[in-house]
Structures are given as structure tokens and as C-alpha cells.
A = this chain, B = another copy of it.
Amino acid sequence: MMRTRPLKVALLGCGVVGSEVARIMTTHADDLAARIGAPVELAGVAVRRPSKVREGIDPSLVTTDATALVKRGDLDVVVEVIGGIEPARTLITTAFEHGASVVSANKALLAQDGAALHAAAGEHDKDLYYEAAVAGAIPLIRPLRESLAGDKVNRVLGIVNGTTNFILDKMDSTGAGYQEALDEATALGYAEADPTADVEGFDAAAKAAILAGIAFHTRVRLDDVYREGMTEVTAADFASAKEMGCTIKLLAICERAEDGESVSARVHPAMIPLSHPLASVRGAYNAVFVESDASGQLMFYGPGAGGAPTASAVLGDIVAVCRNRLSGSTGPGESSYAALPVSGMGDVVTRYHISLDVADKPGVLAQVATVFAEHGVSIDTVRQQGKDGEASLVVVTHRASDASLTGTVEALRSLDTVRGVASIMRVEGE
């Protein structure tokens, strides 16, 4: 039954993920062959530093010429784990042109150029798989694209960045401030020396674009994703959250509007109730909540990063692509037929927690409440605490559009009695 010609896999990049893919391909060769129906062999490894010793990898396979590797013409699968836009993009399209299917873990590239890459794959009748690009080992792309193919997804709500979840979890459990928690994350290797991509939400925004595109069968580009980092979350915000029975998470939220006629994608810190399953996602773990018409609420939880978990996702894709090669078929490609408009942040509707510093004198609450009412933002609860002529006022609203809330806050700032807006945080997951 088993075909003897091996399927040839080339690796572009041999860092933390690539070396683990190579290791598993070697140590689990028999299992992979049995599961695919043919042996797979490592046919080449493109690296930048060829002199580095790579345990378990035949040095004759190593090359610095990635372009020549993908042009060989005898490759079945090219695995791109370089990251970044170029040369990854050109290498992937060159691989398609020369007959290979592609497995990628490159969230930035897919979020920016997913449509063009899918088009290139389709033109050459090849597969483009990228389970590893979102939330490491957690199966998300395949469940959204295949398991839920007969359902209507309304919302994807997830913790998709382990670094920021580690920091926020630390702030929540110890009362530490942002900088202190970041320092610990850096010391433990959970945050990079330059943590910008994580803490400013760029990484999560790329994943949100990919998830929204698949969930809503609509092209969602990175530029379409509203992005707000978590560097301004304070210990005081956590104290406010606790008073509401909430914690704070950096969430990626992809939503279908209530009228179903548009979608949106956004990344920002938000309060979520402690009773929500995402609230108990600790440390560097990731979890994604998916709400659909028929299946209700599903959650997928696991390690969102790391060499071995990401390699597991890459290998699952390698097996799928190899099976497709053997049967002469391709898996599902891009599905963007719904082509729904992507709303800007102003149209997004949610709840808000607003802390104001106000003068502690009669009539202030009435003034503030009038501003909310004038902007059509309905107040759910309000709590005032006064001391020495100053007071803090905490307002939690019902659902309102971001544009209405922004207008409200601008008007509040112009009130003499409002000394300052201490914080504004969205409330999600209810």
C-alpha cells in the first residue's frame, strides 16, 4: 500500500521552531510515514548562519541560498518559519511557481498579504496552510475553516498573545505595576528585549486579522484592525476591575455587527467577568472563545507559542498537505465570498468602565449624567467616592458605540467640574 518515493520537505529557517520541526521529522519518521501514507524526507534547510552546529541535521542539507532551494522543482512542501515580510513573501510565491505547497507560521505576512498569497497558491493549484500562525499549537484555523464550515460564526474573542497575558496575570495576582511585571516577564524569557510587538498589540492584531478573515469569509487586512496596547494598564485599573468582579485581559475581538451586515476586528485591554472562561487563562497560555449560531460557545485553550507547540502545528499541516499531494487534491483555500464591509472602531458597540476625577460638590453627578445622556450613552451603574473636596466617579455604561463614547468623553473633559479622566476601559465577555 505504501508508496515508496518519499515526499520532500524543505525548511526555510532553522531557529526555535524550524529545528524542532526537523527533530520531530527525524525522530517520528515512521509515525509520519504511516499517517501520511508515504515517507517524508527533509530535502533542504535554508539558514542565514550555515556554520552554526545543528544537531540531528545532515550538514549537506544546509544552504544559505533559500531562493535556489525553493526553485529546485522537486519539493513537495516548503515550510516557511523565517518570519517577517521579505524575503518570506517572495520565497513562498517562488515555491508555488516551482510546484511546492507551503506551510507557514508567519502571522505578520499572512495578515498583511494573505489574499495575494492565497491567490498565488490557487493559481498554481497548491496548498497554503498556516495553523501555526495563530496561537501556536492550539487548533484554530482548521476548526474555524472546517469544523465550523456549516455554522455561522458571530464572534471570536481570544487571548492570543502569551507575553501580555503573562504580564497582566502577574499584575492581577500580585498587584504589581506594568513595568515591574514586564521586567519579570523579560527575566523569565516570556518577553523579548524589545517587547513592542507584544505589548502594543501588533502581534495580536495580526492574529485578529487572520481569524476574522476565516471566521467571516471576508478579507480583513491588518490595517482594518483597531489596535490599542496594554502599556497603560495600571494597578488601579486592576483594583477597579476587582470591584466589578472582573479581571483585565488583552483581547483580540472579531465580531459580526448585530445587523449581520458588517464585521470588525480589534485588539485592546478589556475587563472581563471572573466567571468568563477566558478570565482563568493563566500565565503565557492562550485561549480563544468562538460564538456561533448553532454550536453556541466553544473554547480552545493551550500554549500559544514556543518551539515545540508551534512545531506541532506545523507538522499537522505538513501531514495534511502531504496527504493532499498524494491524493492529487488541495485543501480548502481562501474563503472570502461573503465580502462583508469591515467597520471602523467608531461603529463598534460595547460597554465601558470610566473613572473620572471630579470636584466634590453638589450638582456634579447631574452634570456628568447629562453629558452621557446627550450622547446617547446609557449608564448602568455609577459609584461616587469623595474626599477633601475631590471625588472619584466610576461610571459603567450599557452598550454604546465607540463613537458615542468618544464624544461623551470629549464633552466630559470640557466640564469645569471634571478634573480629569483617569481611565477608560471596555467591558467584554458578558
Are A148 and B316 touching (Cβ within 8 A)?
A: yes
Chain A 292-310, CB within 8 Å of chain B: the 1/0 string?
1111111111110010110
Residues of B within 8 A of A329 (CB): 324, 327-329
Are B292 and A312 touching (Cβ within 8 A)?
A: yes
Does residue A150 face the partner (Cβ distance < 8 Å to B)? yes
| A26-34, A46-54, A190-198, A390-398: which lies at the interface | A26-34
Residues of B within 8 A of A292 (CB): 137, 312
Q: Which residues of A contact B (CB under 8 A)?
A: 20, 24, 28, 31-32, 34-35, 131, 136-139, 142-143, 146-152, 217, 277, 280, 292-303, 306, 308-309, 311-320, 323-324, 327-330, 332, 335, 337-338
Q: How far is the CA of A35 from the CA of B216 in the complex (A)?
A: 11
Are A152 and B296 touching (Cβ within 8 A)?
A: no
A301 touches which of B34, B137, B301, B323 (Cβ 8 Å)? B301
Known interface pairs A296-B302, A302-B298; A149-B308 also in contact (CB < 8 Å): no
Are A320 and B146 touching (Cβ within 8 A)?
A: yes
Q: How far is the CA of A324 from the CA of B332 in the complex (A)?
A: 10
Are B150 and A316 touching (Cβ within 8 A)?
A: yes
Question: Can you list 14 residue pairs at the A/B interface with Cβ under 8 Å?
Answer: A31-B338, A34-B337, A35-B149, A131-B147, A139-B142, A143-B143, A150-B312, A150-B318, A294-B308, A294-B312, A297-B303, A299-B301, A299-B302, A300-B300
Residues of B within 8 A of A150 (CB): 24, 28, 32, 35, 311-312, 314-319
Residues of B within 8 A of A31 (CB): 152, 217, 338
Residues of B within 8 A of A301 (CB): 277, 298-301
Are B142 and A28 touching (Cβ within 8 A)?
A: no
Residues of B within 8 A of A302 (CB): 295-299
Are B277 and A294 touching (Cβ within 8 A)?
A: no
A309 touches which of B280, B296, B316, B320 (Cβ 8 Å)? B296
Q: Would you give the shortest CB distance from A41 to chain B, in whole angstroms?
A: 15
Pick the 4 closest A-B CB pairs, nearest first. A150-B315, A137-B295, A139-B147, A294-B312
Are B298 and A335 touching (Cβ within 8 A)?
A: no
Residues of B within 8 A of A293 (CB): 308, 312
Q: How far is the CA of A316 from the CA of B145 in the complex (A)?
A: 9
Instruction: Beyond A137-B294, A143-B143, list 8 extra A-B contacts (CB 8 Å).
Output: A137-B295, A139-B139, A149-B319, A150-B312, A150-B314, A277-B301, A293-B308, A323-B332
Q: How far is the CA of A335 from the CA of B294 in the complex (A)?
A: 30
Residues of B within 8 A of A148 (CB): 139, 312, 316
Residues of B within 8 A of A138 (CB): 298
Residues of B within 8 A of A295 (CB): 136-137, 302-303, 308-309, 312-313
Known interface pairs A35-B217, A280-B277, A330-B327; A149-B294 also in contact (CB < 8 Å): no
Q: How far is the CA of A320 from the CA of B136 in the complex (A)?
A: 24
Q: How far is the CA of A297 from the CA of B303 in the complex (A)?
A: 7
Residues of B within 8 A of A311 (CB): 150, 294
A298 touches which of B137, B217, B294 (Cβ 8 Å)? B137
A296 touches which of B303, B318, B324, B338 (Cβ 8 Å)? B303
Residues of B within 8 A of A20 (CB): 294
Known interface pairs A35-B217, A328-B329, A329-B328; A147-B313 also in contact (CB < 8 Å): yes
Q: Would you give the shortest CB distance from A417 to chain B, in whole angstroms?
A: 44
